[in-house]
Amino acid sequence: MMALYPLKFKPIVLPKVWGSESWVVSTCDGKDSVVTNGYLKDNTLQEIIGIYLDELIGGKVYEQYGERFPILCKFIHVNDNLSVQVHPDDDHAEQYDSGKTEMWYVHEATDDAAILLGFNRDTSADEVRALLHENRITDILRRQAVQQGDAAYIPAGRVHALCKGAHVAEIQQNSDTTYRLYDYNRPGLDGKLRPLHIEEALRVLDFTGLDEPLLRYEAQMNDASNLVSDPHFTTNLLRLDRPLRRETDELDSFIVYMCVAGKVRIECPDDDCESVVIGREEAVLIPASLTSVRLVPDGEAELLETYV
Protein backbone atom coordinates (compact mmCIF):
# COMPACT_ATOMS: atom_id res chain seq x y z
CA MET A 1 0.00 0.00 0.00
CA MET A 2 1.11 3.55 -0.64
CA ALA A 3 2.33 5.57 2.32
CA LEU A 4 -0.13 7.63 4.32
CA TYR A 5 0.02 11.41 4.47
CA PRO A 6 -1.84 14.29 6.23
CA LEU A 7 -5.52 14.09 5.31
CA LYS A 8 -7.89 17.00 4.78
CA PHE A 9 -11.65 16.54 4.70
CA LYS A 10 -14.71 18.26 3.31
CA PRO A 11 -16.64 19.84 6.21
CA ILE A 12 -20.11 18.47 6.96
CA VAL A 13 -22.26 21.54 7.65
CA LEU A 14 -25.43 21.02 9.68
CA PRO A 15 -27.98 23.84 10.12
CA LYS A 16 -29.48 24.12 13.60
CA VAL A 17 -32.27 26.18 15.12
CA TRP A 18 -29.61 28.03 17.13
CA GLY A 19 -26.95 28.37 14.36
CA SER A 20 -24.85 25.71 12.64
CA GLU A 21 -22.21 23.03 13.15
CA SER A 22 -19.33 22.15 10.86
CA TRP A 23 -18.13 18.58 11.47
CA VAL A 24 -14.54 18.63 10.25
CA VAL A 25 -13.35 15.14 11.30
CA SER A 26 -16.13 12.58 11.75
CA THR A 27 -17.29 9.00 11.36
CA CYS A 28 -20.21 9.62 13.72
CA ASP A 29 -23.86 8.77 13.12
CA GLY A 30 -23.45 8.10 9.40
CA LYS A 31 -21.74 11.44 8.83
CA ASP A 32 -18.40 10.25 7.46
CA SER A 33 -15.70 12.76 6.50
CA VAL A 34 -14.54 12.59 2.87
CA VAL A 35 -10.87 13.21 1.97
CA THR A 36 -10.18 16.18 -0.33
CA ASN A 37 -6.44 15.80 -0.99
CA GLY A 38 -3.92 13.27 -2.32
CA TYR A 39 -4.42 9.80 -3.75
CA LEU A 40 -7.08 8.94 -1.15
CA LYS A 41 -9.29 11.82 -2.33
CA ASP A 42 -13.02 10.98 -2.31
CA ASN A 43 -12.55 8.09 0.13
CA THR A 44 -14.23 8.33 3.52
CA LEU A 45 -12.32 8.29 6.78
CA GLN A 46 -14.06 5.06 7.79
CA GLU A 47 -13.03 3.38 4.54
CA ILE A 48 -9.43 4.39 5.06
CA ILE A 49 -9.41 3.13 8.65
CA GLY A 50 -10.66 -0.22 7.36
CA ILE A 51 -7.68 -0.46 5.00
CA TYR A 52 -4.83 1.01 7.03
CA LEU A 53 -6.01 0.10 10.54
CA ASP A 54 -3.29 0.86 13.14
CA GLU A 55 -1.08 2.62 10.57
CA LEU A 56 -3.69 5.36 10.51
CA ILE A 57 -5.03 5.49 14.06
CA GLY A 58 -2.17 3.92 16.06
CA GLY A 59 -1.60 0.56 17.68
CA LYS A 60 -2.90 1.39 21.17
CA VAL A 61 -5.91 3.19 19.69
CA TYR A 62 -6.75 0.25 17.43
CA GLU A 63 -6.39 -2.17 20.34
CA GLN A 64 -8.90 -0.19 22.37
CA TYR A 65 -11.36 0.99 19.72
CA GLY A 66 -10.89 -1.32 16.74
CA GLU A 67 -12.07 0.34 13.53
CA ARG A 68 -14.27 2.82 15.42
CA PHE A 69 -12.70 6.28 15.23
CA PRO A 70 -12.70 7.53 18.84
CA ILE A 71 -13.34 11.28 18.50
CA LEU A 72 -15.48 13.84 16.68
CA CYS A 73 -14.24 17.37 15.89
CA LYS A 74 -16.54 20.32 15.15
CA PHE A 75 -16.74 24.06 14.81
CA ILE A 76 -19.96 25.43 16.30
CA HIS A 77 -21.48 28.80 15.35
CA VAL A 78 -23.93 30.00 17.99
CA ASN A 79 -26.47 32.65 16.98
CA ASP A 80 -28.94 31.74 19.74
CA ASN A 81 -28.79 29.79 23.00
CA LEU A 82 -28.39 26.03 22.71
CA SER A 83 -30.61 23.74 24.73
CA VAL A 84 -29.62 22.95 28.31
CA GLN A 85 -28.33 19.41 28.03
CA VAL A 86 -26.21 16.61 29.42
CA HIS A 87 -24.48 13.54 27.97
CA PRO A 88 -24.12 10.05 29.46
CA ASP A 89 -20.80 8.43 30.29
CA ASP A 90 -19.64 5.12 28.82
CA ASP A 91 -21.41 3.11 31.54
CA HIS A 92 -24.76 4.84 30.97
CA ALA A 93 -24.73 5.12 27.19
CA GLU A 94 -27.18 2.21 26.94
CA GLN A 95 -27.69 1.32 23.27
CA TYR A 96 -25.04 3.79 22.10
CA ASP A 97 -21.44 2.86 21.34
CA SER A 98 -19.93 5.29 23.84
CA GLY A 99 -20.63 8.12 26.22
CA LYS A 100 -19.80 11.72 25.43
CA THR A 101 -17.14 13.72 27.21
CA GLU A 102 -16.15 16.90 25.36
CA MET A 103 -14.32 20.21 25.52
CA TRP A 104 -14.77 23.69 24.07
CA TYR A 105 -12.25 26.25 22.89
CA VAL A 106 -13.71 29.69 22.22
CA HIS A 107 -12.18 30.95 18.98
CA GLU A 108 -14.58 33.86 18.50
CA ALA A 109 -16.92 35.66 20.88
CA THR A 110 -19.20 38.68 20.95
CA ASP A 111 -18.98 41.12 23.86
CA ASP A 112 -21.88 39.43 25.68
CA ALA A 113 -20.96 35.80 24.87
CA ALA A 114 -21.40 33.27 27.68
CA ILE A 115 -21.72 29.60 28.50
CA LEU A 116 -23.77 27.68 31.06
CA LEU A 117 -21.69 24.97 32.71
CA GLY A 118 -22.53 22.97 35.81
CA PHE A 119 -24.78 23.92 38.70
CA ASN A 120 -24.00 27.03 40.77
CA ARG A 121 -24.61 25.02 43.95
CA ASP A 122 -25.36 21.47 44.97
CA THR A 123 -28.84 20.40 43.93
CA SER A 124 -30.97 17.27 43.53
CA ALA A 125 -33.10 15.45 40.99
CA ASP A 126 -36.28 16.62 42.75
CA GLU A 127 -35.23 20.28 42.66
CA VAL A 128 -34.14 20.09 39.03
CA ARG A 129 -37.46 18.49 38.07
CA ALA A 130 -39.40 21.21 39.93
CA LEU A 131 -37.43 24.05 38.35
CA LEU A 132 -37.90 22.55 34.89
CA HIS A 133 -41.65 22.50 35.51
CA GLU A 134 -41.44 26.23 36.38
CA ASN A 135 -39.16 27.08 33.40
CA ARG A 136 -36.54 28.25 35.92
CA ILE A 137 -33.73 25.72 35.47
CA THR A 138 -31.26 28.44 34.44
CA ASP A 139 -31.57 29.91 37.95
CA ILE A 140 -29.24 27.20 39.30
CA LEU A 141 -26.84 26.92 36.36
CA ARG A 142 -23.35 28.43 36.50
CA ARG A 143 -23.27 31.24 33.91
CA GLN A 144 -19.81 32.30 32.75
CA ALA A 145 -18.89 35.14 30.39
CA VAL A 146 -16.36 34.01 27.79
CA GLN A 147 -13.95 35.58 25.36
CA GLN A 148 -11.61 34.38 22.65
CA GLY A 149 -9.08 31.92 24.09
CA ASP A 150 -11.27 30.60 26.90
CA ALA A 151 -11.63 26.82 27.19
CA ALA A 152 -13.93 24.51 29.13
CA TYR A 153 -13.98 20.80 29.95
CA ILE A 154 -17.35 19.05 29.94
CA PRO A 155 -17.13 15.52 31.35
CA ALA A 156 -20.13 13.27 30.80
CA GLY A 157 -22.79 14.06 33.38
CA ARG A 158 -22.14 17.81 33.59
CA VAL A 159 -25.06 20.03 32.58
CA HIS A 160 -24.12 22.64 29.97
CA ALA A 161 -25.19 24.95 27.16
CA LEU A 162 -23.51 27.36 24.80
CA CYS A 163 -25.10 30.81 24.78
CA LYS A 164 -25.53 33.29 21.96
CA GLY A 165 -22.26 34.69 20.61
CA ALA A 166 -19.87 31.95 21.80
CA HIS A 167 -18.38 30.31 18.71
CA VAL A 168 -16.29 27.29 19.65
CA ALA A 169 -14.16 24.44 18.45
CA GLU A 170 -15.53 21.28 20.06
CA ILE A 171 -13.64 18.03 20.54
CA GLN A 172 -15.57 15.08 21.93
CA GLN A 173 -15.97 11.36 22.06
CA ASN A 174 -17.42 9.84 18.91
CA SER A 175 -21.04 10.11 19.99
CA ASP A 176 -24.01 12.31 19.14
CA THR A 177 -25.99 11.32 22.23
CA THR A 178 -27.63 14.34 23.84
CA TYR A 179 -30.25 14.46 26.59
CA ARG A 180 -32.11 17.79 26.46
CA LEU A 181 -33.32 19.14 29.78
CA TYR A 182 -34.68 22.49 28.60
CA ASP A 183 -35.04 24.15 25.19
CA TYR A 184 -36.62 27.53 25.96
CA ASN A 185 -40.00 26.26 24.65
CA ARG A 186 -38.99 27.14 21.10
CA PRO A 187 -39.79 25.26 17.89
CA GLY A 188 -37.13 23.47 15.86
CA LEU A 189 -36.45 24.00 12.16
CA ASP A 190 -39.56 21.93 11.36
CA GLY A 191 -41.77 24.21 13.44
CA LYS A 192 -42.31 21.61 16.16
CA LEU A 193 -40.96 21.58 19.70
CA ARG A 194 -37.84 19.44 19.93
CA PRO A 195 -38.15 16.44 22.25
CA LEU A 196 -36.84 16.61 25.81
CA HIS A 197 -35.18 13.73 27.65
CA ILE A 198 -35.70 14.72 31.28
CA GLU A 199 -35.77 11.31 32.92
CA GLU A 200 -32.77 10.08 30.93
CA ALA A 201 -30.89 13.26 31.89
CA LEU A 202 -31.73 12.93 35.59
CA ARG A 203 -30.25 9.43 35.60
CA VAL A 204 -26.83 10.68 34.46
CA LEU A 205 -26.59 14.22 35.89
CA ASP A 206 -23.86 15.25 38.32
CA PHE A 207 -25.78 17.35 40.86
CA THR A 208 -22.77 18.86 42.64
CA GLY A 209 -22.03 22.57 42.29
CA LEU A 210 -19.18 23.75 40.04
CA ASP A 211 -17.05 26.63 41.29
CA GLU A 212 -14.77 27.18 38.29
CA PRO A 213 -16.23 26.50 34.84
CA LEU A 214 -13.20 27.55 32.76
CA LEU A 215 -9.89 25.75 32.32
CA ARG A 216 -6.84 27.53 33.68
CA TYR A 217 -3.81 27.33 31.42
CA GLU A 218 -0.79 29.43 30.55
CA ALA A 219 -0.44 29.87 26.80
CA GLN A 220 3.11 29.63 25.49
CA MET A 221 4.31 30.79 22.10
CA ASN A 222 5.72 28.07 19.85
CA ASP A 223 5.10 25.29 22.33
CA ALA A 224 2.24 23.10 23.50
CA SER A 225 -0.07 24.36 26.25
CA ASN A 226 -2.13 21.49 27.62
CA LEU A 227 -5.86 22.11 27.89
CA VAL A 228 -7.32 18.65 28.52
CA SER A 229 -5.78 15.30 29.46
CA ASP A 230 -8.66 12.87 29.65
CA PRO A 231 -8.75 9.07 29.16
CA HIS A 232 -10.69 9.72 25.95
CA PHE A 233 -8.44 12.39 24.38
CA THR A 234 -5.66 14.90 25.02
CA THR A 235 -5.88 18.41 23.59
CA ASN A 236 -3.12 21.03 23.47
CA LEU A 237 -3.13 24.62 22.23
CA LEU A 238 -0.29 25.69 19.92
CA ARG A 239 0.23 29.41 19.39
CA LEU A 240 2.76 29.91 16.62
CA ASP A 241 4.70 32.74 15.05
CA ARG A 242 7.57 30.61 13.71
CA PRO A 243 7.95 27.03 12.44
CA LEU A 244 7.67 24.27 15.02
CA ARG A 245 8.51 20.57 14.66
CA ARG A 246 6.29 18.12 16.50
CA GLU A 247 7.57 14.58 17.05
CA THR A 248 4.67 12.15 16.70
CA ASP A 249 6.05 8.61 16.62
CA GLU A 250 6.01 8.00 20.40
CA LEU A 251 2.33 8.88 20.73
CA ASP A 252 1.17 5.71 18.91
CA SER A 253 -1.92 7.70 17.91
CA PHE A 254 -3.26 9.79 15.07
CA ILE A 255 -3.27 13.56 15.62
CA VAL A 256 -5.95 16.03 14.56
CA TYR A 257 -4.95 19.65 14.08
CA MET A 258 -7.81 22.17 14.09
CA CYS A 259 -6.92 25.69 12.98
CA VAL A 260 -8.62 28.27 15.17
CA ALA A 261 -6.74 31.35 13.91
CA GLY A 262 -4.49 32.20 10.98
CA LYS A 263 -3.09 29.71 8.49
CA VAL A 264 -0.55 26.90 8.85
CA ARG A 265 1.35 24.73 6.38
CA ILE A 266 1.96 21.19 7.63
CA GLU A 267 5.08 19.55 6.24
CA CYS A 268 6.19 15.88 6.47
CA PRO A 269 9.78 14.62 6.81
CA ASP A 270 9.32 12.53 3.64
CA ASP A 271 10.10 14.55 0.51
CA ASP A 272 7.47 12.58 -1.40
CA CYS A 273 4.76 13.66 1.04
CA GLU A 274 3.06 16.86 -0.10
CA SER A 275 2.57 19.64 2.43
CA VAL A 276 -0.97 20.58 3.46
CA VAL A 277 -2.27 24.05 4.30
CA ILE A 278 -5.13 24.58 6.73
CA GLY A 279 -6.82 27.87 7.47
CA ARG A 280 -9.28 29.00 10.10
CA GLU A 281 -11.96 26.39 10.86
CA GLU A 282 -10.21 23.68 8.86
CA ALA A 283 -8.66 20.48 10.18
CA VAL A 284 -6.12 17.86 9.15
CA LEU A 285 -5.56 14.31 10.39
CA ILE A 286 -1.95 13.18 10.83
CA PRO A 287 -1.66 9.37 10.51
CA ALA A 288 0.06 7.52 13.35
CA SER A 289 2.61 6.15 10.88
CA LEU A 290 4.21 9.57 10.38
CA THR A 291 7.20 10.16 12.66
CA SER A 292 7.04 13.95 12.81
CA VAL A 293 5.50 17.04 11.24
CA ARG A 294 6.69 20.61 10.82
CA LEU A 295 4.13 23.34 11.45
CA VAL A 296 4.81 26.53 9.51
CA PRO A 297 2.51 29.46 10.32
CA ASP A 298 1.74 32.26 7.89
CA GLY A 299 2.41 35.06 10.38
CA GLU A 300 0.67 34.19 13.65
CA ALA A 301 -1.65 31.21 13.98
CA GLU A 302 -3.32 28.96 16.54
CA LEU A 303 -3.91 25.21 16.37
CA LEU A 304 -5.65 22.73 18.61
CA GLU A 305 -3.72 19.45 18.71
CA THR A 306 -5.69 16.35 19.73
CA TYR A 307 -4.68 12.71 20.08
CA VAL A 308 -5.76 9.66 22.08
Residue 27 parent element (H or E): strand 27-28
Nearest to 150 by CA among 169, 131, 128, 134: 169
- Does position 210 have pLDDT exceeding 60, yes or no? yes
Q: 121, 143, 158, 180: which one is catalytic?
A: 180
Residue 56 parent element (H or E): helix 54-57
Q: What is the pLDDT of residue 272?
A: 74
pTM over 0.85: yes
- Return the CATH number of the domain spanning residue range 224-307: 2.60.120.10
pLDDT above 90 coverage of the chain, percent: 91
Task: Return the higher-pLDDT residue of 250 and 296.
Answer: 296
**Mean pLDDT to the nearest integer, 187-199:** 93
| Beta carbons within 8 Å of 164's beta carbon, 6+ residues apart | 18, 78, 79, 80, 81, 110, 112, 113
Give CA 233 to chain center in angstroms.
10
Give CA 175 to chain center in angstroms.
11
Residue 57 parent element (H or E): helix 54-57
7-204 and 224-307, same CATH topology: yes
Amino acid at the residue 134: E
Nearest to 6 by CA among 269, 281, 196, 218: 269
Whether residue 284 contacts residue 276, with contact meaning beta carbons closer than 8 Å, is answered with yes
The class of domain 7-204 in CATH terms is mainly beta
80-124 pLDDT, tens per residue? 999 999 999 988 766 556 899 999 999 999 999 999 999 999 999
Q: What is the pLDDT of residue 91?
A: 84
Task: Return the higher-pLDDT residue of 270 and 125.
Answer: 125
Q: Is 122 left (phi over 0), alpha (psi -120 to 50) or beta?
A: beta
194 is a catalytic site residue: no
Q: What is the pLDDT of residue 96?
A: 56
Cα separation, 142 vs 83, whole angstroms = 15
Domain boundaries, the chain: 7-204, 224-307
- Exposed e or buried b for every residue in 105-141, given b needs 16+ CB within 10 A? bbbbbeeebbbbbbbbeebeeeebeebbeeeebbebb
Q: What is the pLDDT of residue 95?
A: 56
11-36 pLDDT, tens per residue? 999 999 999 999 999 999 889 999 99
Secondary structure letter of residue 221 according to DSSP: B
Q: What is the pLDDT of residue 94?
A: 62
Cα separation, 102 vs 116, whole angstroms = 14
In degrees, rounded to 5, the angle at the alpha carbon of residue 221 between the alpha carbons of residues 215 and 225 is 30
138-188 pLDDT, tens per residue? 999 999 999 999 999 999 999 999 999 999 999 999 999 999 999 999 998
Task: Return the higher-pLDDT residue of 97 and 215.
Answer: 215
Whether residue 299 contacts residue 65, with contact meaning beta carbons closer than 8 Å, is answered with no
